[in-house]
Structure 1
Amino acid sequence: MKTKNIFIASFALLLGLMTFSCTEDFVDMNTNPNASTAANPESLLAPTLHDLVWRNQNRAMRLNNEIMQVHVTTVDSREFHRYFIRPTESDYMWRNWYVQLTDIKDMYAKAEESKLAGFETFKGISLVLEAWTFSMLTDMFGDIPYSEANQGKNGNVTPKFDPQRDVYLGLFEKLEEANTLLTSSGDLPGALTEYDPLYAGNALLWRKFGNSLYLRLLLRASGKSESNAISKIQQITESTPAAYPVFSNALESAILPVGNTQPLTSAFFNFRDFDFNGDKGYSEFFINNLNSWQDPRLPIWATISSGIYAGIPSGWSSGQIPERQSTLQVGLKTDPRLGNIMNHAELQFILAEASLKGFIGGDPKAYYETGIESALAHWDLEMPEDLLERPFISWDENWDFDQKMEAIHMQKYFALFFTDFQQWHEYKRTGHPSLIPGEGTLNGGRMPSRFGYPINVQALNAKNYNEAIQRMGPDNINTKVWWNIEE
């Protein structure tokens, strides 16, 4: 992982003055009480990035990792690994993603107003961040406030819910505009680079992030013909690739280096070791696969238990609490590589699947193997010479389609370690990698398809909420989102 030069003392001062909102008021999704109406676009960028990654790390730990058998709780009352998700879990991400969208939209508006050096670049950056944040919201909930979102200061605190199809098409438009703006605007000038902790104002790298994100969302929507996603994937990768640059190596990945140094601290910076790993252990699924490959990431990620790396079953029955085995290495608490937003390895696995399905040319095996190498490079590891020939990892051309999808998504699963809820979204879309629900799993053993809407949204925006569920289906964890419904 590359070392990033961050000279943002002003960000540290800003964080010292800011407090994160704890209000439960529905207006939070439309207005950010922490935002300054006079803020310059550069003062919004770093705090927004930090807050998004910080909260994504927090909920990846609490929710995604339990649902997706990364690790398993040893607390009987916490039942995410059994597919039991209380409605109250929805509020945290809904509220905080929308709060940051207010700042992201303000970044665009302030850049437009100022017309100062770099304003077009800030507009492009804000559009990439807006597409990323809205994509996390819609992939978790389905239909969401989009076209009328974040308009509380204009008096609209009950925005309509847009169908997810329309949200996705809107995100594609934003990423197109971002690519256009960043193509012509150039890098952030002079001292403004110090306000960008991700790419130091490099417009080309922001384009590569935006277009790589574009491919993530296009592949997710590729099962819906009205998205025109397959044609766009072909355009980006084959017809006009020079117009849509994407990540070309692991060093270009979108990784916010959160760790133990202010102002970019990890979500787990102040955790005691026990808070971080004392009530959970890695799952059998997670550890057994890494063991089968003799994966070099194991000592970075996991502790040894009784002389070996071992996991515990996910979905264990109530009252049958297993004994912890391997746990998270405490060094992960402040490991900057855990600030992953999207990496080059994920992109390679996207291309491997697109090639396997015939959306693009190329060799899925080559993309698959490059993805494995890049996933190790993310952790500053060189690929062992024989890794690609090892059992359970070596690509076999005689595999059928499903076996090849399983291989691609098994490796993608590990490349997405602690990347918000991306493991879950990919599993919902593909059914890979093959997870086996435990004996104590609830919900009929069915993987949740979405989160229910926050309770306060149901109460304070009832008319638009009811219209959304009439369109989508019941507001429960089994109603599928648009891109997950087969045509």
Structure 2
Amino acid sequence: MKHTIIGALVLFGMATQSCTKDFTEINTNPNETKVATAHALMAPALVNTLSANMIRNRNFNNELMQVTVDISESDGKVFRYDFRATWADYLYNAWYSELTNFKDMEKVARDPKSYNRSYIGISLICQAWVFSMLTDTYGDIPYFKSNLARDSAVFEPPFDTQKDIYFDIFNKLDTANVYLNNTTYGINANSDPVFNGDITKWRRFGNSLYLRLLMRISGKAEVADVAIAKFKEVAETKKSSYPIIDTTEQSAILRWTGAGPLVSPFLGVREQDFRGPGVGEFFINNLVNWNNPLIDPSKGNNSVNRWRIAPYQGGYSGVPSGYQMGQAPVRRSYFYSQTTTTLFNLQTDALTGQMLNAAEVQFMLAEAVVKGWIAGSAEAYYTRGIKYTIKQWIPAWDEVTDYIDKADLHWNDSGSEDEKMEAIHIQKYYAMFLMDMQQWFEYRRTGHPVLPKGPGLRNNGVMPARMNYPVYVQSTNPTNYKQAVSRQGSDVISTEVWWQKP
């Protein structure tokens, strides 16, 4: 399906980018405008969004969160909380570009000639998902009048407050839940690399995303009561009206088949670069201490070193994060690349397109019980979270009780709330492996899991609270940029976003 778009270049990364060349050619015809179908827009937007997420997960989130450590003597290194302003451009551009496609998808699906409430609901969920990542990364952003350069000539949109953005995202998710509570309107399975056309799974994803975002703002005093009450409604009192992800088969994962356009973006990374970072000492030591079946072919049921980490001197050994300049350690264990093994490797693995999985949901519910928001057993949710983390990658695995016993990961119901939060979030950290920037977002929200602090850290040794706005925004949207900075705080990585502040 070929379609045309009007316009050439849209300022500050909100370019009108419809289906990529992997799916269809982009043509520009000023005399005729053909509209793409919703299904033609959906798959490219999902693939492009996940591709951006995975690239920045690998070289930004993983470095901040000590999954990996770059072995380098140069400055400007993410793992030292020291990154250049230009790091901000990539995600800002990529996410706003794909929001154009998701919004176009909604517009087409609302047209009486092509009306389809399922595509509308899915589009609203995808918009909520992308906007949530944008605002959690940068803070206040263009929202209500974003992506209007082509149709309405809004080239300098105002920056909206994170509070207003969050509550409109909630409106989108509530609307999507209603729209998807009707399977009369099917979708093209070929347009859906996440759920293969299963509308009910999209609905579960949307409601699980709702829980994630309600929990994220629950520490903000001015909205805490509202957020907690809605969380309880979705998870407990009206849960029949808000189905959520509760099995690994329902997890939201874009599966890279290796066919056609569904080729993992990790394959675009040179093999020597993919192997370059060492595995972080914090990341690997826990897995070793627990005898986790995801890393050793001799442990677990049908395990084949599922995360494909190279051994070092007969075992696994990581490198400390935050080391000082001039003291670069020797790289030890690392993630295999595609030609270093005939077994699984993350460059080609089908499951690296993580969006939101069943384990994350279980850990959210465990936290909600600990905090008294909902009834139930925190231990049961915690145990299922551990089980689902491993089972997501090794479907045949079903030995959680034995694993918890041997790893000494028993739930301590008499522990303090902080101790319970650490127990939940160190496991959630592994459940969110490869999931865009979620480990970073959750650490900023909770301070868990507790990460070791290396002597070479910048930013006063404090985890960065945001990315700065792209430098070019200052010149292309100066008035609104200045208003946003005046309201939010200096455009630096130490300025906390709205939900981080008490």
* TM-score of the two chains, using structure 1 as the length reference: 0.92
Q: Does 1:90 align with 2:88?
A: yes
Match of residue 209, structure 1, among 201, 205, 212: 205
Distance change in 2, residues 1:120/1:24 (3 Å): closer
Write the distance in 2 (CA, Å) between the matches of 1:62 and 1:79: 10
What is the rounded CA distance, in whole Å, between the counterparts of 1:374 and 1:368 in structure 2?
10
1:284-323 superposed Cα distances (whole Å, 9 cap, x missing partner): 1001111111101112221111101110000111111111
CA distance, structure 2, for counterparts of residue 349 and residue 193 of structure 1: 30
**Distance in 2 between the 1:336 and 1:213 partners?**
22
CA distance, structure 2, for counterparts of residue 140 and residue 380 of structure 1: 31
Pick from 380, 399, 403 the counterpart of residue 394 of structure 2.
380
**TM superposition shift of 1:391:** 4.2
Q: CA deviation at 1:165?
A: 0.2
Structure 1: distance between partners of 2:331 and 2:493: 29
1:429 paired residue number? 445
1:50-449 matches, within 5 Å, as 50-77=47-74, 79-116=77-114, 119-153=116-150, 154-188=152-186, 192-227=188-223, 228-277=226-275, 279-298=276-295, 299-301=305-307, 302-330=309-337, 331-381=345-395, 382-384=397-399, 385-449=401-465
Q: Provide the C-alpha distance between the structure 2 equivalents of 1:328 and 1:178, rounded to a whole number of angstroms.
A: 38
Could you say which structure has the greater relative contact order, defined with CA pairs below 8 angstroms and 6 or more residues apart?
1
| Larger displacement relative to structure 2 (467-476 or 31-40) | 31-40
Residue 320 of structure 1 aligns with an amino acid whose one-letter code is Q
Taking the aligned partners of 1:474 and 1:347, their CA distance within structure 2 comes to 34
Q: Which moved more, 1:363-372 or 1:262-271?
A: 262-271
What's the offset of the Cα at 1:406?
0.3
The Cα shift of 1:397 comes to 1.9
Counterpart-to-counterpart distance in 1, 2:126 and 2:10: 24
Measured after TM superposition, the shift of residue 390 of structure 1 is 3.1
Distance 1:46 1:287 in 2: 35
Distance (Å, rounded) in 2 between the aligned partners of 1:286 and 1:28: 34
Q: Report the more deviating stretch, 400-409 or 179-188.
A: 179-188
Local SS of the residue matching 1:340: strand
Structure that is richer in helix per residue: 1
Deviates more, 1:44-53 or 1:218-227: 218-227
CA distance in 2, matches of 1:138, 1:270: 27
Shift of 1:114: 4.7
Aligned sequence identity (%): 42
Task: List gaps (5 residues or longer) in structure 1.
Answer: 1-9
Paired residue secondary structure (1:341) = strand
Two-structure CA RMSD over aligned residues (Å): 1.9
CA contact (8 A) 1:65 1:71 kept: yes
Letter in 1 for 2:284: I
Partner of 1:7: none
C-alpha deviation, 1:361, in angstroms: 0.8
Q: How many residues align?
A: 465
In structure 2, distance between residues paired with 1:194 and 1:451: 35
Distance 1:126 1:194, change over 3 A: same
**Of 317-326 and 93-102, the range deviating more from structure 2:** 317-326
Provide the C-alpha distance between the structure 2 equivalents of 1:42 and 1:416, rounded to a whole number of angstroms. Answer: 29
Q: CA deviation at 1:276?
A: 0.9
- Asked whether the 8 Å contact 1:388–1:395 carries over to 2, the reply is no
Distance 1:266 1:300 in 2: 17
What secondary structure sits across from 1:334 in the alignment? coil
**Does the Cα contact within 8 Å between 2:246 and 2:361 map onto a contact in 1?**
no
CA contact under 8 A between 2:306 and 2:394: conserved in structure 1?
Answer: no
Q: 1:150-194, CA deviations, whole angstroms, 9 ceiling, x for partnerless residues?
A: 0001110100000000000000000000001111354515xx222
Give the ranges of 4+ consecutive aligned residues of structure 1 lying more than 4 Å apart after TM superposition: 33-37
**Is this contact kept in 1: 2:9–2:16, CA < 8 A?**
no
Partner Cα separation in structure 2 for residue 285 and residue 211 of structure 1:
32
Structure 2: gaps spanning 5 or more residues: 20-25, 28-33, 296-304, 338-344
Does residue 1:480 correspond to 2:496, yes or no? yes
Shift of 1:329: 2.7
For residues 412 and 221 of structure 2, the distance between their equivalents in structure 1, rounded to whole angstroms, comes to: 31
8 Å CA contact 1:187–1:202 kept in 2: the answer is no
TM-score w.r.t. length of structure 2? 0.89
Q: Secondary structure at the match of 1:209?
A: helix
The one-letter amino acid of 1:69's match is Q
SS of 1:419's partner is coil
Separation of aligned partners in 2, 1:238 and 1:220:
18
Partner of 2:14: 29
> 1:4: which partner in 2?
none
Q: Secondary structure at the match of 2:267?
A: coil
2-structure distance, mates of 1:260, 1:305: 30
